[in-house]
Structures are given as structure tokens and as C-alpha cells.
């Protein structure tokens, strides 16, 4: 009986360790679907239409960038009489109002300045102020929601609008690319991340017919669809874009990703800034998960959002920190119970990791070679130096069985068994430890001259674990019921067309 229980316990530990591979397999499945997108996409249903489009730009103290944004929007490759720009000034205290008044005078009938006297309630409230004005008039056939600092490539709106020829499409989103110039290491990490999270993931979601989130900086809605969801953006959460996307799809219309519509955006260049932005997104995801708790994995409730693949994609990201902690904690436990079994399971997990890493990294480079040329180091080092070393050790057993020990012996060092066991234990625990090291990178960034070590910590721990650490922090914030503050991401206007 005891032996049976022990075997059962071991089986549970093995299952929990291998659950660490679920996010990897989900990523693999997602990337496999991109190939299907080659033959199953929405381009077959597009037509040459350019609906009258009102662009709504939320702006708070964007004096440095908003003038140029308006000019660039008006200069887009789109019929002049079918484009209007509404800038909603969220009680700015800088030169934003003056800049906008000048633009209104320069482009009468094309640019509107909508002023909120009481601001600071967040982007959704600001957008709703603009949407009320736009929808009160029957001119607009489509509404584009953007950020004040983004740069649309000339044909981006036209390429998005062509999908609205299909009445089954409610909203279209573009490919947001990191466009900070000069770009630091974190910008390059974000650049690579956006290939995987947007150019890749959203193509896969196109195939499923279910979109996770329309990019906040570029979402085009048909008027019919926007009115069907109440003509306003959800203000009760930190994930207004995801809620808009879900509501659009729940109303029976599709949300489509247009990968050739390029929009450049400035993303945070400090871990502190990134942490603030992603914590808001991750907390928003916790809120979405709870709000739609009766939808996940229930296809009979919603054919697409309730589908298995969509649910697996959502939860593999949402629960990734728990998968990582569970996997490494179980491996360490197995090490003390049944060392050879732990070793075999560890190998299986990391060989899966290696195969998925190769596939995802090189396919991401192939999807967007332009970004890959700039961010290839960050793409390769995305999992972090330590994880890459473990991948190498797993795939090339002689590396640590023979070559490294031989090299150490040649150098007069003979590592004992204790060192070897400590190294193995470290490798087993690494999935959890990587998040701690990533968190340490954030702490170091605000510690005077120690901040110079911060990028090194990110490269060692990996950018992926940094995102997992933020997601974990979001669980804690939401469990504590922390106040929802809409921290605006700081923008300096350094985004440029590549």
C-alpha cells in the first residue's frame, strides 16, 4: 500500500514537472498555426474600401509628439475627405492645447480638439469622451483608436480598412513594432517580443478566428461593431483593449490582425517603466480571466473564445509563472526522492524546451527579418544565458560529461561530487530562480551605480522570466485588491520610422 502511494506520489511529481512544458507546447502549436495562415487568412475577403474614418487620439501632456502625430495621420495614403482626426486632450497641463489649436486652424474640418477639463481617469475615460462626440454625428463609418505617440506607415490604415469590406469583421488591428531610436537593450528585447506576441501569435489567432487583444495603439472598429458593444470602452478594468476585443467577438463579429499594416511605437527603455506597463497589462489579464470565467474551454458558450486552443493559449501565458514554479519545485523534490528519475524527466523537459526554442526563435526571425536584424542577440538570449547553457548541456551531453571536466582538470581544477550535485540542483531549481534574478534586475536598476549590472541580470535571467516575474506580481496585486491606477507609460517622442 505504502509502495503504491509512493509510486503515485512520484507520478504526480513527474506530471507537475512536465506541466512546465505546457507553455512550450502551446507556443509550438501557436507557431505551427502560422503556417496554416499562409493558406487560411482573411485576405481572400478583402476589398478596396476606405470607409469614412474618425481617428481618436487620447493625449495627456503629449505636446512634444502630438503635433507631428496629427500631421502624419493626415498625410497617410487614404482619401482626404474620408479621414478625420479627433484628439482628446485629457486636461493636459503642457503645451498640448496650444499645439492642437494650431492644428485645428491649419486643417479646418479635418482635425478636432476635444478638451476634458477633469482628466487623469485613464485612457478608457479619455477615449469615451471622444467616442461620444464621434458617434453623435453620423459621419464616421469606422473609428480608429490609437496612441498619441505612434507612427503609422503610410498604407497602414488603408490595409486595415480593406478588411471591413467583410461585414462579419468588427475590428482590425495592426502590427505594432518597437520604434525607439536609439534603441537600448530593453527596446530590442521588446522588439523581438513583439514579433512573437504580435506578428506570430496574432496570425495564429487569425486562423482560430479568435483574437486575444487588439493592440491599444492601432485598432480600427466598424461603426456598427462599436455601437453594438455600447459605443464605449470598458472603464472598470486595467485591460480595456482586451475587454473591447472580447466584447466585439462576443457580439458575433471577428477581430482580424493585419500583419502588413505597420505601426511604430515607443516602448519603455527601463525595467521600471516596463514593469509598470506590464503590471497593468497582467493585472488586466487577471481581471479578464475572472470576468469570463464561464467562457473558458466551453465551446458551446462561444464557438471561438471558448475553444480549446484559444483557452490553452490564454492560460499558458496567464499561468506561466505557476507552471515554472511547480515544475522546478517538483524536480527538486524528485531529486531527493528518486535522483535517476529526476534526471530523466529533467532531460525530457529541457529537450522539449530546446526544440521549441529553436523553432520559435528562427521562425520569428523569418517572420520579421527587419526586426531580427536589429534584435537577433536579444532573440537568441530571450530565455537567458543560464537557460541556454542548460539547453546546451541537455542537447550536448559530452559538454558537461567530458569536455568541461577535462578543461577544468587541464586547468588544475578538479570539481568534486558536491560541486556536481550543487550544479544539478541549481539547474533543477532554475525555472523558479530565473524569476527571482529578473526581479533583482529591477531592484538593481534603482540602486545608484549598481544599475549598471541590471542589463547583465536580464541577459542572465532572460527577458521571458522577467515577464513571468511581472505576471506573478500581478497575481499578488490582484489578490490583495490593490488600487487600480492607470500609470501612463512615459513617452519621449524618440520613435522613428525604420
Partner 1 sequence: MGQDREDREGRARVAVPAPAFADEVRRDRRFERRLLLKEALILLAIALLVLARVLFLH
Residues that bind partner 1 (CB under 8 A): 31-32, 34-39, 41, 43-44, 46-52, 77-79, 81-82, 141, 158-159, 162, 164-165, 203, 259-260, 355, 358-359, 362-363, 366-367, 395-398
What's the closest the beta carbon of residue 446 comes to partner 1, in angstroms? 40
Collapsing DSSP states into helix, strand and coil, what is residue 261? strand
Select 81 or 94, whichever has its Cβ closest to partner 1. Answer: 81
Q: Are 28 and 363 in contact, with CB atoms under 8 Å apart?
A: no
State which H helix or E strand residue 465 sits in.
helix 463-479
Whether 239 and 281 have beta carbons less than 8 Å apart is answered as yes
Q: How far is the CB of 399 from partner 1 (least distance, A)?
A: 10
What is the rounded CA–CA span in Å between residue 182 and residue 496? 9
| 3-class secondary-structure state, position 264 | strand
Comparison of 397 and 415: residue with beta carbon closer to partner 1: 397
Taking the complex as a whole, the smallest distance from the CB of residue 142 to partner 1 amounts, in Å, to 9
Nearer to partner 1, 30 or 69 (CB): 30
Whole-number Å distance between alpha carbons of 35 and 256: 17
Contacts with 443 (C-beta within 8 Å, 6 or more apart), sequence order: none
Q: Is the CB of 261 or the CB of 274 nearer to partner 1? A: 261
Q: How far apart are CA 472 and CA 480, in angstroms?
A: 13
DSSP character for 170?
A: E
Q: How far is the CB of 265 from partner 1 (least distance, A)?
A: 22
Minimum distance of partner 1 from residue 164's CB (angstroms):
8
CB closer to partner 1, 91 vs 165: 165
Phi then psi dihedrals of residue 116, to 5 deg = -100, 125
Taking the CA atoms of residue 268, residue 275, residue 376 and residue 150 in that order, the dihedral angle to the nearest 10 degrees is: -30
- Of the two residues 14 and 261, which places its CB atom closer to partner 1 in the complex? 261
Cβ of residue 101: shortest distance to partner 1, in angstroms? 29
Give the residue with the Cβ less far from partner 1, 343 or 359: 359
Q: How far is the CB of 257 from partner 1 (least distance, A)?
A: 11
CB of 110 to partner 1, least distance (A): 16
For the bound state, the minimum distance from the C-beta of residue 363 to partner 1, rounded and expressed in Å, comes to 5
Give the shortest CB-82-to-partner 1 separation in angstroms.
6
Cα dihedral across residues 251, 257, 262, 264: positive or negative: positive
Beta bridge partners, 84, equal: 54
User: Do 157 and 220 touch, CB atoms closer than 8 A?
Assistant: yes
Query: Which uninterrupted H or E stretch holds 394?
Result: helix 385-395
| Between 17 and 142, CB nearer to partner 1 | 142
Instruction: Output b/e per residue, 112-136; b: 16+ Cβ within 10 A.
Output: bbbbbeebeebbbbbbbbbbebbbe
| Nearest to partner 1 of 127, 161 (CB atom) | 161
Q: Tell how strand 218-222 and strand 111-116 pair up.
A: unpaired
φ, ψ dihedrals at 220, nearest 5°: -105, 125
Residue 195 vs 288, nearer CB to partner 1: 195
CB 48 within 8 A of CB 18: no
Taking the alpha carbons of 342, 344, 347, 349 in that order, is the dihedral positive or negative?
A: negative
CB of 176 to partner 1, least distance (A): 18
Comparison of 395 and 429: residue with beta carbon closer to partner 1? 395
List CB contacts of 34: < 8 A, sequence separation 6 or more. Answer: 200, 203, 204, 207, 363, 367
Amino acid at each position: 500500500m505504502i509502495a503504491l502511494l509512493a509510486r503515485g506520489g512520484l507520478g504526480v511529481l513527474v506530471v507537475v514537472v512536465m506541466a512546465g512544458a505546457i507553455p512550450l507546447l502551446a507556443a509550438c502549436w501557436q507557431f505551427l498555426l502560422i503556417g496554416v495562415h499562409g493558406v487560411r487568412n482573411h485576405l481572400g475577403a478583402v476589398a478596396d474600401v476606405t470607409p469614412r474614418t474618425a481617428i481618436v487620439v487620447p493625449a495627456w501632456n503629449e505636446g512634444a509628439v502630438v503635433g507631428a502625430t496629427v500631421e502624419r495621420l493626415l498625410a497617410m495614403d487614404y482619401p482626404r475627405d474620408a479621414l478625420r482626426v479627433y484628439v482628446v486632450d485629457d486636461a493636459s497641463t503642457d503645451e498640448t492645447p496650444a499645439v492642437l489649436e494650431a492644428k485645428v486652424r491649419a486643417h479646418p474640418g479635418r482635425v478636432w480638439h476635444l478638451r476634458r477639463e477633469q482628466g487623469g481617469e485613464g485612457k478608457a475615460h479619455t477615449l469615451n469622451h471622444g467616442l461620444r462626440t464621434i458617434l453623435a454625428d453620423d459621419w464616421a463609418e469606422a473609428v480608429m483608436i490609437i496612441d498619441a505617440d505612434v507612427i503609422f506607415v503610410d498604407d497602414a490604415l488603408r490595409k486595415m480598412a480593406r478588411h471591413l469590406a467583410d461585414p462579419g469583421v468588427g475590428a482590425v488591428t495592426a502590427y505594432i513594432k518597437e520604434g525607439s531610436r536609439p534603441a537600448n537593450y530593453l527596446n530590442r528585447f521588446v522588439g523581438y517580443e513583439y514579433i512573437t506576441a504580435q506578428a506570430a501569435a496574432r496570425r495564429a489567432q487569425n486562423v482560430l478566428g479568435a483574437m486575444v487583444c487588439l493592440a491599444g495603439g492601432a485598432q480600427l472598429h466598424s461603426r456598427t461593431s462599436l455601437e453594438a458593444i455600447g459605443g464605449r470602452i470598458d472603464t472598470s478594468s486595467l485591460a480595456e483593449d482586451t475587454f473591447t476585443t472580447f466584447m466585439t467577438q462576443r457580439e458575433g463579429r471577428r477581430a482580424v490582425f493585419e500583419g502588413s499594416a505597420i505601426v511604430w511605437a515607443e516602448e519603455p527603455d527601463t525595467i521600471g517603466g516596463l514593469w509598470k506597463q506590464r503590471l497593468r497589462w497582467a493585472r488586466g489579464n487577471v481581471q479578464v480571466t475572472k470576468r469570463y470565467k464561464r467562457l473558458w474551454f466551453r465551446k458551446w458558450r462561444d464557438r471561438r473564445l471558448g475553444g480549446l486552443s484559444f483557452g490553452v493559449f490564454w492560460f499558458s501565458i496567464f499561468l506561466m509563472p505557476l507552471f515554472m514554479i511547480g515544475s522546478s519545485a517538483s524536480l527538486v523534490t524528485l531529486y531527493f526522492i528518486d535522483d535517476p528519475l529526476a534526471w530523466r524527466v529533467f532531460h525530457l523537459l529541457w529537450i522539449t524546451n530546446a526544440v521549441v526554442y529553436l523553432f520559435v526563435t528562427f521562425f520569428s526571425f523569418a517572420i520579421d527579418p527587419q526586426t531580427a536584424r536589429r534584435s537577433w542577440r536579444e532573440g537568441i538570449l530571450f530565455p537567458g544565458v543560464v537557460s541556454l547553457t542548460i539547453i546546451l548541456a541537455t542537447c550536448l551531453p559530452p559538454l558537461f560529461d567530458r569536455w568541461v571536466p577535462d578543461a577544468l582538470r587541464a586547468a588544475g581544477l578538479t570539481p568534486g561530487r558536491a560541486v556536481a550535485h550543487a550544479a544539478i540542483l541549481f539547474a533543477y531549481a532554475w525555472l523558479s530562480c530565473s524569476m527571482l534574478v529578473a526581479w533583482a534586475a529591477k531592484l538593481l536598476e534603482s540602486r545608484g551605480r549598481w544599475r549598471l549590472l541590471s542589463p547583465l541580470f536580464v541577459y542572465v535571467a532572460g527577458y521571458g522570466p522577467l515577464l513571468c516575474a511581472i505576471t506573478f506580481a500581478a497575481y499578488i496585486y490582484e489578490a490583495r485588491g490593490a488600487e487600480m491606477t492607470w500609470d501612463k507609460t512615459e513617452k519621449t517622442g524618440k520613435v522613428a520610422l525604420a
